[in-house]
Amino acid sequence: MQGSNTYQILIDPAVSPDSVPRRFQVPAGASLEDVANALDLIFHADSQCDAVLLMAADQMAGVVTRARFRTLVSPSGPHRGERPVGAGDGASLAGPPVDYEVFTYRCQRCGKVVYRMEADVPAPACEESGHGAMDREA
């Protein structure tokens, strides 16, 4: 059983969860490497996304910022040299790994976003009361 502490290395404790409108819901038991790869995909796919609130099996783990994540993704970071990404210059990033997929859900009323690694679960509901289920983006 892995708790939210599994992802502690990814978390930027200086950022308040309240300031982050995007959540990344991680299934129970996801490895640090899986989560790091998925975060790589998220930051790669959405240039507007500078931080995500990491939720591990419905427990708030904390905020992962793009800037801090980029300092971690190095041969000594979570990828352990398997797929080193150019040392954070932002211009020569390798493509995301092909065997990971991230699903994006957006609230049509307030624009909040939830990312998930699995699609075969009901769409998340917006945390704002009355907004209802979020829509999956293609």
Which lies closer to Zn ion via its Cβ, residue 81 or residue 130? Answer: 130
Report how far apart, in Å, the C-alpha atoms of 83 and of each of 44, 59, 62, 69, 109 are. Answer: 15, 29, 25, 15, 38
Cβ atoms of residues 35 and 7 within 8 Å:
yes
Distance of alpha carbon 44 from alpha carbon 91, whole angstroms: 11
**Contact pattern for Zn ion over residues 6 through 35, marking x by CB under 5 A:** ------------------------------
Distance of alpha carbon 21 from alpha carbon 44, whole angstroms: 18
Distance of alpha carbon 41 from alpha carbon 134, whole angstroms: 20
Q: Which range in 3-11, 77-85, 93-101, 108-116 contacts Zn ion by CB under 5 A? A: 108-116
Which lies closer to Zn ion via its Cβ, residue 66 or residue 131? Answer: 131
Pick from 109, 118, 119, 133 the residue near Zn ion by CB under 5 A.
Answer: 109
Residue 137 beta carbon to Zn ion: minimum distance, rounded to whole angstroms = 14
Q: Is residue 133 near Zn ion by the rule CB under 5 A?
A: no
Name the token pair of 28: 């129970």
Q: Is residue 128 near Zn ion by the rule CB under 5 A?
A: yes
Among residue numbers 39 through 68, which ones bind Zn ion (CB under 5 A)? none
Q: Which residues bind Zn ion (CB under 5 A)?
A: 107, 109-110, 112, 126, 128, 131
